[in-house]
Structure 1
Amino acid sequence: MAPGTSSRRMSLDFIRNTTTASDASVEPRSIFRHKDSSLPSRSAASEVATVVNCECCGLAEECTRSYVARVRSGFCGRWVCGLCSEAVAEELRRHVVKEEALRAHMEVCRRFSKVAANPAVALVGTMVEILRRESNKKL
């Protein structure tokens, strides 16, 4: 190693010297030839994004129309955000049909999105519901 140069600097010089010698025979895009096949086409990338609201939780997201159409086709014609789609997938693990899982998740979102006039009453109501569920499981 030359005095005053670090081993990192020498390794970078080695890489630079080996790549410049072989660059003449390499096409500019050939490095990315495998990556190009997985990239979306220019028409899909330039598609205009629109704001859509999740039909479960009401979250607004900016998505392309083709993405919205794909999501709707997978969730019974309803658009759901990524978080809600994961919750529906979790419901599906309980071996229920997709429509039932979506309906159950929408019901949960509806209950939790209510504005409670009295938070203490809402808390008591939620605790009563949890206790009922647990007692039904034990029977």
Structure 2
Amino acid sequence: MNKRVLLVEDEPNIIEAIRFILSRDGWRVDTHADGATAVEAVRARVPDVLVLDVMLPGKSGFDILKELRASPATETLPVLMLTAKGQSRDRELAERYGVNRFMTKPFANSEVLESVNALFAGATGPA
């Protein structure tokens, strides 16, 4: 079974780092860098897990998450939110909008891999 993740991130170095660690673990990694069209990208690609940055051009990750949770097609999509903004109010807002996991930058590669795999396992049930 192909494991598919969509990474919505606009920082090239972070894109490459996450693509590398997830690809090495067998994930197919699609990327998208524009917040304004991110919801359409999610619907078109239907990933197993979404990794979503908060600060994006065009639309914030919070707004994207809120829109995804409002749609029956994506309301249960596992979402890991990444942000350089680690204030408690950011975490609270993400949780209010339905994030599954929240991680601040900089992050450990092993932490991203563990979180994505845990979200996938929770989404698909026991292996």
User: Normalized against structure 2, the TM-score is what?
Assistant: 0.28
More helix as a share of residues:
1
User: Normalized against structure 1, the TM-score is what?
Assistant: 0.26
More strand as a share of residues:
2
- Greater Rg by CA: 1
State the structure with bigger RCO (CA 8 A, min sep 6), 1 or 2. Answer: 2
